[in-house]
A and B are shown apart, each in its own frame.
Chain A
Amino acid sequence: MTRMSRIALVAAVVAAAGIMTARRPGRRRADTRSWHSMTVYRTLDDVSANLPDQLCRLEVQLTPAPGGRGAEIRARGDRPDAEVRRILRLSRSLLEVGEVRR
């Protein structure tokens, strides 16, 4: 994936996050929210085409992982860190194996 499409995608998600923060103005502290990253063993195109719903509610950046390791998903949002990490893990399972049932 090219740098341009990456930027486009980020812009799209940032816009979505913007709508959410607009609904909850009290929570608007974008600079302090920390990023969390996870690598998914799928191509960047595959990931961006199949981004799980829960991730769409966060601010998301996608980049290819080096060495053929798939795609790196970076996310942050107005949620506790543990919740963002849980969403990332769930998303990875959905993207890699399709279904998630323990």
Chain B
Amino acid sequence: MRALQWRGPNRLAVGEVPDPAIKTRADVVVRVRLSATCGSDLQLLGGDSPYVGKGDVLGHEFVGEVVELGADVQRHHVGDRVVVAPVIACGRCWFCSQYEYSLCDNGGCFGWSHAGSHAEYVRVPFADVGAFTVPDEVADERALFASDAASTGWMGADMGGVNPGDVVAVWGAGAVGQLAARAAQLLGADRVLVIDRYDNRLRQVEKHIGAETINYERTDVVATLLDRSGGRGPDVCLEAVGRPGTVGEAVTACRKGGSVFVLGLFAGLVDRFPLGAISVKGLTVRSARMHGQRYIPMLLQRMAKGELTTEHLATHVMPLEEAPEGYRLFRTREDGCVRAVFRPGS
């Protein structure tokens, strides 16, 4: 089959790889219908991840159709349209019993430890735990984002503790930040502000999410956030960037006793952090990799009801053969690219 492979630092190519097959009784094989780029791929393109080697297939945010079933699979049938959580979880270890799926002792992640979804087919381990049937009324372009961006964003708002009446600030207007902002609204936030420097992304936030925006190149972010929250600071700060500086800014802006949730994924050590402010202001600072299995069924229901729309994020839908160019657009943000989405077999 055809698949997008990592061929070395910043070298991507579409090539021929063996078709996946059922390996354990809990697997399914999915024919990929759509598979999206994600901000977290950008780090590993450079070759920083010990999990990704030459020839490995990238991609972890996808929707597809079940074509083969392992003997123990209960919840799926051949032909089902499914969204799959990027984080693979067994459903049987202690962490899974606490619904902390991304901490699973027997798990992994597509496009890192396991072959990814930028391919015609992908093997999905523990399919009863990680794959979810998409309601008929939800189109692929919407369902796709339940997989990662929407569940990650929702997790930030949920675990960050957004309550009705809160002022919520979100750093980053990528797909994750936008959907974190939408989640905060749906959880009852009174005011949601999204920070970025790309006007096209901020316009999407205003038009499709209905949140306020701050361009950090033109504005003092902390001063603006304080001003727009009556001098208190945002109750909840959601970091959806993953670059040095933003978590510190969130800690500085956050109100006393408030909460900062870090969705961005960082590699290595990050210095110059206002650690003292966490104690003095009594903040709660948390982070996690996404626990998609917790949220995907609920998100698909909200998508079916029209509460959560995500189509605007798929700015560049293209055949899988053009995936290297899709990653170039996504990385450079050229042409207003928010997510490049690949359609295998077209």
Contact = CB atoms under 8 A, between A and B. Distances in A.
B325 interface: no
A41 interface: yes
Contacts of A70: 94
A37 to B, nearest CB: 14
Contacts of B90: 96-97
Instruction: Report the interface size class on chain A.
Output: 10 to 19
Contact of A39 (B26, B94, B97, B114): B94
Task: Determine chain A's interface SS by DSSP, over half rule.
Answer: loop
A93 interface: yes
Interface residues of B, number: 16
B284 interface: no
A85 to B, nearest CB: 13
A100 B26 CA distance: 11
A69 interface: yes
Contacts of B126: 97
A93 B106 contact: yes
A97 B24 CA distance: 10
A53 interface: no
B105 A102 contact: no
A11 to B, nearest CB: 28
A96 B92 contact: yes
B23 interface: yes
Contacts of B25: 98-99
A101 interface: yes
A92 interface: yes
B128 to A, nearest CB: 12
Interface string B90-123: 1011100100000001101000011000000000
Given A93-B106, A96-B105, A102-B114, A41 B92 contact: yes
Contacts of A98: 25
A41 B90 CA distance: 12
A98 B90 CA distance: 11
Given A93-B106, A96-B105, A96-B106, A101 B23 contact: yes
Contacts of A101: 23-24, 125
Interface string A19-55: 0000000000000000000010100000000000000
Contacts of B93: 41, 92, 96-97
A82 B126 CA distance: 27
B92 A102 contact: no
Contacts of B92: 41, 96-97
With most chain A CB atoms within 10 A of its CB, the pick from B90, B106, B113, B114 is B106
Interface string B288-306: 0000000000000000000
A69 B105 contact: no
Nearest to A38: B105
25 contacts: A39-B94, A41-B92, A41-B93, A41-B97, A41-B105, A69-B94, A92-B105, A92-B106, A93-B105, A96-B90, A96-B92, A96-B93, A96-B106, A97-B26, A97-B90, A97-B92, A97-B93, A97-B106, A97-B126, A99-B24, A99-B25, A99-B26, A101-B23, A101-B125, A102-B114
Given A93-B106, A102-B114, 10 more contacts: A41-B93, A41-B105, A69-B94, A92-B93, A96-B92, A96-B106, A97-B90, A97-B92, A98-B25, A101-B125
Interface of B: 23-26, 90, 92-94, 97, 105-106, 108, 113-114, 125-126
